[in-house]
Amino acid sequence: MSPPKYLTGDKAGIEEFLSRFDVFLFDCDGVLWSGDHLYPKVAETIGMLRSKGKQLVFVTNNSTKSRADYKKKFDKMGIETNEEEVFGSSYSAAVYIARILKLPAPKNKVFVLGESGIEQELNAEGVRYICGTDPAFRRDIEPEDFTNIANGSALDPEVGIVLSGLDFHLNYLKMATAFQYLQRGAVFLATNTDSTLPTAHSLFPGAGSAGAGLVKAIGREPLALGKPSQAMMDAIEGKFHFDRSRTCMVGDRLNTDIQFGIEGKLGGTLAVLTGVSKKEEFLAEGAPTVPMAYMDTLGDLVG
Ligand SMILES: O=C(O)[C@H](O)[C@H](O)COP(=O)(O)O
Ligand SMILES: [Mg+2]
Q: What is the CATH number of the domain that holds 133?
A: 3.40.50.1000
Alpha carbon nearest to ligand 1 atom 6, residue: 62
> Could you list the residue range(s) of the whole structural domain that residue 113 is in?
102-224
Any catalytic annotation for residue 29? no
Q: Do residues 47 and 136 share a domain?
A: no
Residues 14-70: tens digit of each pLDDT: 999 999 999 999 999 999 999 999 999 999 999 999 999 999 999 999 999 999 999
User: Of 179, 201, 224, which marks where a domain is finished?
Assistant: 224
Gap from CA of 59 to ligand 1 centroid (Å): 10
- Give the separation between CA 116 and CA 222, rounded to whole angstroms: 20
For residues 172-180, average pLDDT: 98
From the CA of 205, which ligand is nearest? 1
* 187 pLDDT more than 80: yes
Say yes or no: CB of residue 108 within 6 Å of ligand 1: no
pLDDT digits (tens, 9 = 90+) for 108-130: 999 999 999 999 999 999 999 99
Residue 148 falls within a domain, yes or no? yes
State if residue 120 touches ligand 1 by the CB under 6 angstroms criterion.
no
Q: Which of 191, 224, 257 is the last residue of a domain?
A: 224
Instruction: Give the ipTM of the model, two decimals please.
Output: 0.98
